[in-house]
């Protein structure tokens, strides 16, 4: 077993109050969908931004109870846009039907795409979790400011969890809607080739340097000191890189063997997520020539340079 290190201070005490609108800030309401799972925690947080006019951010899964909760909270107010942080289906599956019902355009960072092309014999393990056919009415780009309902949002591209991931700053405040890029309940899944650990590190650096303090993620509760927490996440990921190098030096020759050394007692579902993220770390270390990676029809073999 490789050496362990403390994780960031995850908060798993979140009271989601599923189906009820919770006003988390002036003009920002949160409604959590009933899609709790080992990957979504208590469920996907949808946000209604605005006062007299609204934007709906991350409408979530196709679920009748959640749709009713959203429509009840919206009431008679017009929805100027449905906005996605990204196109994983726990965030986007309800987008097309709600856009039609509300007469609202879809805004997000372009169609779902891989962070890099598939290699020969490679499978995208989360292909079915992605909304490949959803097309934006408006493609949002990094750095632009958009009027979302009656509140301005600043678009920040944060690829890593997936290629088209965006975070949204609320103009004139210290608040940032972080999607799945930074979550308080756990570290973010990065599964290549859908996501990229290189991009994830770069996006963490970017958020830490931005002038936002309070983070509102798409799963779990708010993070009061976002930059400090993101800095802890970055340190945790760097520690994981060191653990992988240590495991390979100790004789682990496959990604699964690395997982066994780092996560010896995790249940199968957690180990699958761990394997996906470990593969992303391995790719990151390979790019920096810190470990040797050979791929073939029989799988991936690791070695020391």
CB burial class (10 A; 0-12, 13-18, 19+) of residue 246? middle
pLDDT band with cut points at 50, 70 and 90 for residue 6: low
pLDDT band with cut points at 50, 70 and 90 for residue 2: very low
Q: Give the pLDDT confidence score for residue 145 in this predicted structure.
A: 98
Structural fold of domain 22-235: Metallo-beta-lactamase; Chain A (3.60.15)
User: Tokens at residue 285, please?
Assistant: 């270390």
Q: Give the pLDDT confidence score for residue 92 in this predicted structure.
A: 98
User: Cβ contacts of residue 212 below 8 Å, gap of 6+?
Assistant: 169, 174, 175, 176, 226, 227
Structural fold of domain 237-303: Arc Repressor Mutant, subunit A (1.10.10)
The separation between CA 11 and the C-alpha centre of its own chain, rounded to angstroms, equals: 17
User: Cβ contacts of residue 92 below 8 Å, gap of 6+?
Assistant: 58, 59, 84, 86, 108, 131, 134
211 pLDDT exceeds 60? yes
Q: What pLDDT, in 10s, does the model give residues 71-120?
A: 999 999 999 999 999 999 999 999 999 999 999 999 999 999 999 999 98
Rounded mean pLDDT, 206-217: 98
236 pLDDT exceeds 60? yes
| Secondary structure of 56-94 in HEC code, one letter for each residue | EECCCCCCHHHHHHHHHHHCCCCEEEEECCCCEHHHHCC
**DSSP label at residue 26:** T
Q: What percent of the chain has pLDDT over 70?
A: 98
4 pLDDT exceeds 70? no
Rounded mean pLDDT, 20-25: 97
Q: Give the pLDDT confidence score for residue 8 in this predicted structure.
A: 87
What is the value of pTM for the model shown? 0.94
Mean pLDDT (the chain, rounded): 95
pLDDT band with cut points at 50, 70 and 90 for residue 294: very high
Q: Give the pLDDT confidence score for residue 3 in this predicted structure.
A: 45
167 pLDDT exceeds 50? yes
302 pLDDT exceeds 80? yes
User: Cβ contacts of residue 230 below 8 Å, gap of 6+?
Assistant: 182, 204, 207, 208, 215
Q: What pLDDT, in 10s, does the model give residues 57-76?
A: 999 999 999 999 999 999 99
Q: What's the Rg (C-alpha) of the chain?
A: 19
12 pLDDT exceeds 80? yes
Q: Do the beta carbons of residue 221 and residue 256 sit within 8 Å?
A: no
Count of CB atoms situated within 10 Å of the CB of 287: 12
Q: Could you tell me which residues are beta bridge partners of residue 170?
A: 153
CATH 1.10.10 boundaries in the chain: 237-303
Q: Do the beta carbons of residue 111 and residue 204 sit within 8 Å?
A: no
CATH 3.60.15.10 boundaries in the chain: 22-235
273 pLDDT exceeds 90? no
Q: Do the beta carbons of residue 157 and residue 205 sit within 8 Å?
A: no
pLDDT band with cut points at 50, 70 and 90 for residue 7: confident
């Amino acid at each position: 077993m490789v050496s362990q290190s403390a994780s960031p201070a995850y908060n798993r005490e979140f009271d989601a109050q599923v189906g009820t609108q919770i006003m988390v800030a002036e003009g920002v309401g949160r409604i959590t969908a009933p899609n709790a799972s080992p990957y979504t925690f208590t469920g996907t947080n949808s946000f209604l931004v605005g006062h007299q006019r609204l934007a709906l951010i991350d409408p979530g899964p196709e679920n009748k109870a959640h749709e009713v909760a959203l429509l009840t909270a919206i009431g008679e107010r017009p929805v100027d846009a449905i906005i996605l942080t990204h196109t994983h289906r726990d965030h986007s599956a309800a987008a097309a039907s709600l856009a039609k019902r509300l007469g609202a355009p879809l805004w997000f960072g372009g169609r779902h795409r891989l962070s890099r092309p598939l290699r020969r014999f490679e499978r995208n393990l989360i292909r079915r979790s992605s909304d490949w056919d959803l097309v934006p009415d408006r493609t949002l780009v990094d750095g632009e400011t958009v009027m979302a309902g009656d509140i301005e949002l600043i678009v920040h591209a944060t690829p890593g969890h997936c290629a088209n991931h965006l975070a949204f700053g609320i103009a004139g405040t210290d608040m940032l809607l972080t999607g799945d890029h930074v979550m308080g309940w756990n570290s973010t899944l990065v599964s290549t080739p859908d996501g990229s650990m290189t991009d994830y590190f770069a996006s963490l650096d970017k958020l830490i340097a931005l002038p936002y303090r309070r983070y509102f993620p798409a799963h779990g509760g708010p993070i009061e000191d976002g930059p400090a927490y993101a800095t802890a996440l970055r340190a945790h990921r760097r520690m994981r890189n060191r653990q992988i190098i240590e495991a390979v030096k100790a004789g682990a020759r496959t990604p699964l063997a690395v997982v066994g050394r780092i996560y010896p007692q995790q249940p199968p579902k957690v180990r699958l997520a761990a394997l996906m993220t470990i593969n992303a770390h391995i790719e990151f270390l390979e790019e920096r020539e810190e470990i040797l990676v050979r791929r073939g029809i029989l799988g991936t073999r690791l070695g020391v340079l």
